[in-house]
Amino acid sequence: MSAKAIIFGCSGTSLSTDERRFFEKSSPWGFILFARNLRSEDQTRKLINELKKTVRHEPHIFIDEEGGRVSRLRSLGGWIGPPAADFLCKSPNMELCAAAIRDNYRAIGARLAALGFTADCAPVLDVPVQNADPVIGDRAFSTNHKQIALLAQACISGLNDAGICHVIKHIPGHGRADVDSHKSLPVVTTSHAKLSVTDFLPFQQLSRAQMAMSAHVVYSDIDPHSPATTSKTVISDIIRKEIGFDGLLMSDDLDMKALSGSLSERAEKSLLAGCDMLLHCSGELKAMKDLDAITPVLSGRSLERAKQAAPLPQTCQIKPEDAIIQAQRSFAAFK
């Protein structure tokens, strides 16, 4: 594999000549699409095929599709499913909730697979707390750290049933963030000891996940100077050792305002801290060229992790319409 350690977006609903030439030269490991890229199902499939043809390896095609308010498929219309928190709100029965969640994300996965996507940036393992910024809110399965791993595993199973890889986020935990990291840098002052038995616990319980996305959050009792994405201490001591995650670690979007410095500086800091993969979502060509200039080809342990997180074999025969009907029935059974 000669892919570079980066996932890029693109600007529109089809590739420009300049974008195509750039991706052919750059060879990013994967691509990520957003609502701006999705106009219709046929157009989406065509765009994904265009992207795949620009590289010589089999790229991951990512999307943020959690259901609820974080849904890129909404731009295509049709079913998207409820937010994660709605399941436990409907019933305290964990077994019923887990079954309904698996059905829900199997349906999401079936929609994604039918379009050509290979990976979903879900589930959220963050534990929201009272008075935190609402950026996580109902995207979390529960406010109880002891319940989240079981429900998130059901999400993972549903996605994998449909042939879609998963990305747990935002490691090691975004639930206590006092501001939205898209807009500013959150600082969590909770002690390391308390974080270990609350916020970090769901990630520890699902440490065998294929991929994880970092949190642009400062944990002042662990590293008061850098957010997790650019903190060697957090990545080495917390994510890799304490939590025990040894899968592919990608940064959250480098364009987010929680990070400081130029894009190139953010990228270099993330890689030096221990991120295996960079994520850049805007699709702005000049910015992508700047990042390409400093992004290395995957090698060493990062290359091994990337191979282990490769797209699943596309053998799934689940029809989206059938999976959606089952998901709706499972959720309706709570009422």
60 is catalytic: no
Query: What SS3 string covers the chain?
Result: CCCEEEEECCCCCCCCHHHHHHHHHHCEEEEEECHHHCCCHHHHHHHHHHHHHCCCCCCEEEECEEECCEECHHHHCCCCCCCCHHHHHHCCCHHHHHHHHHHHHHHHHHHHHHHCCCEECCCECCCCCCCCCCCCHHHCCCCCHHHHHHHHHHHHHHHHHCCCEECEEEECCCCCCCCCCCCCCCEECCCHHHHHHCCCHHHHHCCCCCEEEECCCEECCCECCCCHHHCHHHHHHHHHHHCCCCCEEECCCCCCCCCCCCHHHHHHHHHHHCCCEEEECCCCHHHHHHHHCCCCECCHHHHHHHHHCCCCCCCCCCCHHHHHHHHHHHHHCCC
Annotated active-site residue in 223, 252, 253, 292: 252
252 is catalytic: yes
Catalytic sites, residue numbers? 182, 252
